[in-house]
Amino acid sequence: MAAIPAEQPQGMSAGSSDQARLRSDKLRAAVVVAQLARKHSIRTLAAGGPMFAQLGLVSPRVSPTAIVLVEPIHQLHLVLALEGVGWSRISPGHIRGLLPPVFTRVVHPDLVCPLDIYDLLPGFYAAPAQVFELFWTRRVELQISGNVVPAFDRVSTVLVAGHDQLGALAHDRRAESQIAYFVSMFRTSLTPAEQAALVQLVTDVRGIEPLRPFLTTIGVPVGEITLPSEIYCQARLVLESVSDPLIFAVSLFEARPGRRKAGFVRILRNNPRRVVRALLASPRSFVIVARSRARHQRQQQARPPHE
* Residue-wise pLDDT tens digits, 124-134: 999 999 999 99
Reduced 3-state DSSP string for 223-262: CCCCCCCHHHHHHHHCCCCCCHHHHHHHHHHHCCHHHHHH
Instruction: Give residue 194's domain range.
Output: 38-217
Instruction: Check residue 244 and give its pLDDT.
Output: 79
Instruction: Check residue 305 and give its pLDDT.
Output: 43
Indicate the pairing of strand 66-70 with strand 115-118: parallel
Residues 168 and 285 in one domain: no
Residues 139 and 257 in one domain: no
Residues 191 and 250 in one domain: no
What does the pLDDT look like over 209-250, one tens digit per residue? 888 888 989 999 887 777 889 999 999 988 888 887 788 788
Instruction: Check residue 251 and give its pLDDT.
Output: 82
Contact in structure between 176 and 60 (CB atoms under 8 Å): no
Angle of helix 282-290 relative to helix 272-280, nearest 10 degrees?
A: 70
Point out the residues of the chain with pLDDT beneath 50: 1-2, 5-6, 8-10, 12, 169-171, 305-307
Residues 204 and 275 in one domain: no
Instruction: Check residue 149 and give its pLDDT.
Output: 95
Angle of helix 192-205 relative to helix 175-189, nearest 10 degrees?
A: 130
Q: How many domains does the chain have?
A: 2
Q: Is 3 left (phi over 0), alpha (psi -120 to 50) or beta?
A: beta
Residues 166 and 269 in one domain: no
End residue of a domain, out of 190, 217, 244: 217
Instruction: Check residue 307 and give its pLDDT.
Output: 40
Residues 6+ positions from 266 with CB-CB distance below 8 Å: 224, 225
Instruction: Check residue 275 and give its pLDDT.
Output: 61
